[in-house]
Amino acid sequence: MPAEAASNGGGVDPSGVPRERRRRRGRARARTEALLHTLKRSRRVKANDRERNRMHHLNAALDELRSVLPTFPDDTKLTKIETLRFAYNYIWALSETLRLA
């Protein structure tokens, strides 16, 4: 058996393609600059879209939370952190009321 064949475990896999050549294909395939730019751009666009959707869902959830919290006056819109802190304190106060009753 030649030294090259011994180093790659037999030289040829069952499909008839040399193992060394088969190993080089796949992810290590050379890509052009234009293709890389296109891939990066499409990944960035998808990531931006996911982030935009995440923020829309977060803002919708905070709006729902604001709608059930008592605020004074009613036209005051709480910030995100104020909404979360107020909700925490409101739940704590309600729990204390139930505990003491």
At 44-81, the pLDDT tens digits run 999 999 999 999 999 999 999 999 998 877 778 899 99
| CA–CA–CA angle 27, 28, 31 (5° rounding) | 95
Query: Global pTM?
Result: 0.62
Instruction: Let me know: does 45 contact 36? Beta carbons within 8 Å.
Output: no
- Go through the domains of the chain in sequence order and give each one's CATH number: 19-100 (4.10.280)
User: Which one-letter amino acid corresponds to residue 52?
Assistant: R
- Number of Cα atoms under 13 Å in the Cβ half of residue 84: 5
- Sequence-ordered alpha helix ranges (H) in the chain: 3-7, 19-24, 33-68, 80-100
Rounded mean pLDDT, 77-91 = 95
